[in-house]
Chains A and B, each alone.
Chain A
Amino acid sequence: MSAADGIVTDNFGALPAIYGTVLTSFLAMLIAVPVGLMIAFFLTELCPQWLRRPIGIAIELLAGIPSIIYGIWGLFIFAPFLQATLQPFLINTLGHAPVIGAVFAGPPYGIGILTSGLILAIMVLPFVTSITRDVFEAVPSVLKEAAYGLGCTRWEVVRNVVLPYARVGVIGGVMLSLGRALGETMAVTFVIGNAHRISASILAPGTTISATIANEFTEAVGDLYTSALIALGLILFVITFIVLAIARYMLMRIERRIG
């Protein structure tokens, strides 16, 4: 049941919003985690010493930009760009594929689930990067030196020594970023399209919990509508609380181990 019908019939449902929240965050993590890990690999092993600080600061500046800036940029620059380039490309290629075709079908709206997922990916990338870099740097250098001494390449050292040692911390950092992505409001509200339906296509507009609350709360008429939106807020809080609690627990574990 969608909230759009509910306004008339006083019948509300949260499923499209929960679906949109989970899907956009999943897309964001799908991109941000591998990219963030590779940047951390670059910063800890490949980057010359004098360049580390400037790049680290630049990545953290990306984290400091308020989410509303991502929103306005996404609405006016990124969404039209995607509408003209990536989305027609996806529709013309993957959209005709036999099984996954429905996922990339439909007109290129510009705004929608995919765009929101991409903006979220850009937003959480600095969180993933800076936490992963910190845990990578906490790996004792004797371990790394031993691996280098055996003749490992840099990539082998990161894959077989650094990553296993820092695993708990990396997972904690990823969960922490996931918590951010799930609760992010403004960046998503601008580009999600606020459509209360579950579409098979990720190019279609959708909605997330936070976008629904931001868009509709001040316009909600009647106690039941307001209460339904507050209940939606509770669902969001419970989801993010669980994710963030797991994240903190894991980061606490690695902190204890390091000392």
Chain B
Amino acid sequence: MPENILASRYSGRRRSDAVATALAFAATAFGLGWLVLILGALFWKGFSGLSVAVFTQMTPPPGSSGGLLNPIFGSLVLTVIAVVIGTPIGILAGTYMAEYGRYDRLSTVVRFINDILLSAPSIVIGLFIYEVMVAPMGHFSGWAGGVALAVLVIPVVVRTTEDMLTLVPNALREAATSIGLPRSLSITRICYRAARAGMVTGVLLAVARISGETAPLLFTSLNNQFWSTNLNAPISSLPIVIFQFALSPYKDWQNLAWTGALIITLAVLALSISARALVATGKQS
């Protein structure tokens, strides 16, 4: 082949590689740029409204000052209900799939369905809880909101529990059996202990996931403008208040929405970073 054709082919290949490389750099800058823009706007708008009053006062009527105490409290309560209901179910299901029925047909089906539930639209879960809890009870309630969030916690915990237990080496189980431990004890005393960091991570990730969820709460726990600890009544929560206040025409409500958004984001970031740190320490030991 004449030399000039070869040379042009080489330079063509080199050029397409350079173009692709430039595009890859640009794409990464583009992706990271959004993170900076969103977090930047959030900190800028959110910090200006952050004060002690936010944590000590109730949500105000338009035009007067106030805070976010009742939605913060409501969100905490709903999260606790969701974790208390969702974690045991999730861990038990994950334990079955990893320990007792690892090669069962049932486990394969459950794993498949669970993976779909993991990314199912949360608003559909809200509708489901509305039909099975709110409609029969006749009123919106904090319990319904907590259960809706629990439905979101379960698949996350199932997945991480199963993954972490699968990683536990079989030699540990065999050793436990050889010294005469029954199956149940070898799971609770040996496997859980070995997989603990990962399982806690799963719960933390689940909490991070639900702390910003709005759609399932819209028609389960609804909203409450006042301080309320009654779980049989509608209860306030941060995401719903943000939704309501952000779409309102009042400037001070919108500012509170930004502050609430900042609080949620900081909580989620703290949770995911501690989950990550936990995984890192688990790997080292």
Query: Which A residues form the contact surface with B (CB < 8 A)?
Result: 34-36, 38-39, 41-43, 46-47, 55, 57-62, 64-73, 75-77, 122, 125-126, 129, 153-156, 158-159, 176, 179-180, 182-186, 189-190, 210, 213-214, 217-218, 229-230, 233, 236-237, 240-241, 244-245, 248, 252
Q: How far is the CA of A58 from the CA of B119 in the complex (A)?
A: 21
In the bound complex, residues from chain B placing their C-beta under 8 Å from that of A240 are 120-121, 124
In the bound complex, residues from chain B placing their C-beta under 8 Å from that of A252 are 112
Q: How far is the CA of A35 from the CA of B42 in the complex (A)?
A: 24
Once A185-B215, A236-B121, A237-B121 are accepted as A-B contacts, the answer to whether A62 and B34 lie under 8 Å apart by CB is yes
Residue in B32, B254, B276 whose Cβ sees the most chain A Cβ within 10 Å = B32
Do A72 and B219 have beta carbons less than 8 Å apart? no
Do A230 and B31 have beta carbons less than 8 Å apart? no
In the bound complex, residues from chain A placing their C-beta under 8 Å from that of B213 are 66
Q: Does B218 contact A (CB under 8 A)?
A: yes
Do B127 and A41 have beta carbons less than 8 Å apart? no
Contact of A244 among B35, B116, B127 (CB under 8 A): B116
Residue in B28, B38, B258 whose Cβ sees the most chain A Cβ within 10 Å = B28
A/B interface sample: 9 pairs, CB < 8 A:
A35-B27, A64-B268, A65-B268, A68-B239, A72-B257, A159-B20, A229-B127, A244-B116, A248-B115
In the bound complex, residues from chain A placing their C-beta under 8 Å from that of B258 are 72, 76
Do A66 and B212 have beta carbons less than 8 Å apart? yes
Q: How far is the CA of A75 from the CA of B42 in the complex (A)?
A: 13
Q: How far is the CA of A52 from the CA of B113 in the complex (A)?
A: 33
Q: Does B247 contact A (CB under 8 A)?
A: yes
User: Assuming A34-B27, A229-B127, what are 19 further A-B pairs, CB within 8 angstroms?
Assistant: A39-B24, A42-B25, A43-B28, A68-B242, A69-B264, A75-B247, A153-B14, A153-B16, A154-B17, A155-B16, A183-B124, A190-B247, A210-B123, A210-B215, A218-B218, A218-B219, A233-B127, A248-B115, A252-B112
Once A66-B211, A66-B268, A190-B247 are accepted as A-B contacts, the answer to whether A245 and B24 lie under 8 Å apart by CB is no
Chain B's nearest CB lies how many Å from the CB of A204? Answer: 20
Once A61-B272, A68-B264, A69-B264 are accepted as A-B contacts, the answer to whether A75 and B24 lie under 8 Å apart by CB is no
Which secondary structure dominates chain B's binding surface?
helix
Q: How far is the CA of A254 from the CA of B172 in the complex (A)?
A: 29
Do A62 and B121 have beta carbons less than 8 Å apart? no
Chain A's nearest CB lies how many Å from the CB of B207? Answer: 12
In the bound complex, residues from chain B placing their C-beta under 8 Å from that of A122 are 34, 38
Q: Does B59 contact A (CB under 8 A)?
A: no
Chain A's nearest CB lies how many Å from the CB of B144? Answer: 13
Contact of A129 among B17, B31, B119, B127 (CB under 8 A): B31
Q: How far is the CA of A154 from the CA of B17 in the complex (A)?
A: 7
Q: How far is the CA of A70 from the CA of B215 in the complex (A)?
A: 14
Q: Does B243 contact A (CB under 8 A)?
A: yes
Chain B's nearest CB lies how many Å from the CB of A115? Answer: 14
Contact of B218 among A39, A159, A182, A214 (CB under 8 A): A214
Do B20 and A155 have beta carbons less than 8 Å apart? yes
Closest to B128 in A: A233
In the bound complex, residues from chain A placing their C-beta under 8 Å from that of B116 are 241, 244-245, 248
Do B13 and A153 have beta carbons less than 8 Å apart? yes
Chain A's nearest CB lies how many Å from the CB of B247? Answer: 7
Residue in B45, B215, B261 whose Cβ sees the most chain A Cβ within 10 Å = B215
Do A230 and B243 have beta carbons less than 8 Å apart? no
Closest to B41 in A: A77
In the bound complex, residues from chain B placing their C-beta under 8 Å from that of A186 are 214-215, 239, 243
